Structure 1
């Protein structure tokens, strides 16, 4: 992991750390490292890709190290698991609560992931589910949608 951190990334990590503190939790160095790696990779990373990158700085890191960090970050609303591709993405909002689903657009061509930030759509979806007597299986709702880059005529991911 490079020693130099962008201003945007530092601000993102500082906001995440402050949020953890307000909830009585701690963003340990390894958790911060995992979150930083996910922030730098907006298309998301698989757990073993995270492990490989972490091992560059911490050779003794093991799968449980990464999975414990991911579990914590998900619990804190800082990371989402995209089940259809079994990868993890940093939450662009840093504010999701357990009862509010995250809505993700997953491009089937390039596997890019975009977090949809539309509270009205999320509220409508939640109300429709309740009206139908259903409950979400997970807090991540994934919709297959071709991204703008892949929709370009000359694009070939």
Structure 2
């Protein structure tokens, strides 16, 4: 499934294209596609996508909302006991290093990356009403921020953009 960014650039895989009615969206396909891409990315890099890492990724992709680490711990736990924090944080660190997951800093939560095969910096649209998070890849935004930083004498080492607003479903 392909989504379109604000500047018309076609993304490799978008969680749910903006403007597509939710009833037409096959969310199961999102999860299957994300797990398949993760397997391919890890195999190509010689990285091991263990069962735990795969399960964490699957839980993150289970909705189009961000997921907090402690929610993952509860979901991964057994017999009513949550998983241990180091276990989950190590899995999250691996998934971030491989470009399979992004951390949404303002929410202290994680989302699956729909573009794991191409390194990029995060541009996120966060719905303040329903909590949905979409990733956008707009080269013009990236270039404008880099140019502005350089004009101010900064050497940019990375950027993450988080825009809060209302998604199409939540607008009045």
TM range (shorter): 0.7 to 0.9
> Which residues of structure 2 form unaligned runs of 5+?
1-27
> Which residues of structure 1 form unaligned runs of 5+?
1-5
Distance 2:116 2:79 in 1: 26
Query: Which residue in the other structure is 2:124 paired with?
Result: 104
Q: Is the 8 A contact 1:81 1:140 kept in 2?
A: no
Q: Is the 8 A contact 1:104 1:114 kept in 2?
A: yes
Query: Which residue in the other structure is 1:21 paired with?
Result: 43
CA deviations 1:90-138 (Å, max 9, x no partner) are 00112342xx311001122322211013233333333433333335576
SS at match of 1:81: strand
TM-score, normalised to structure 1's length? 0.79
Shift in Å at residue 13 of structure 1? Answer: 0.8
Q: Does 1:141 align with 2:157?
A: no
Q: Please list, as runs of the form range in 1=range in 2, the aligned pairs for 1:110-129 lying within 5 A after superposition.
A: 110-129=130-149
Residue 113 to residue 137, structure 1, CA distance change in 2 (3 Å): farther
Structure 1 residue aligned with 2:67, among 41, 45, 48?
45
TM-score, normalised to structure 2's length? 0.73
- Which range moved further: 11-20 or 44-53? 11-20
Query: Which residue in the other structure is 2:106 paired with?
Result: 84
Query: Which residue in the other structure is 2:76 paired with?
Result: 54
Tell me the number of residue pairs that the alignment of Structure 1 and Structure 2 aligns.
146
Q: Is the 8 A contact 1:105 1:144 kept in 2?
A: yes
Runs (4+) off by over 6 Å: none
Query: Which residue in the other structure is 1:3 paired with?
Result: none
Shift in Å at residue 76 of structure 1? Answer: 0.7
What CA RMSD, in Å, does the superposition of the two structures yield over aligned residues?
2.6
Query: Which residue in the other structure is 2:9 paired with?
Result: none
Query: Which residue in the other structure is 2:56 paired with?
Result: 34
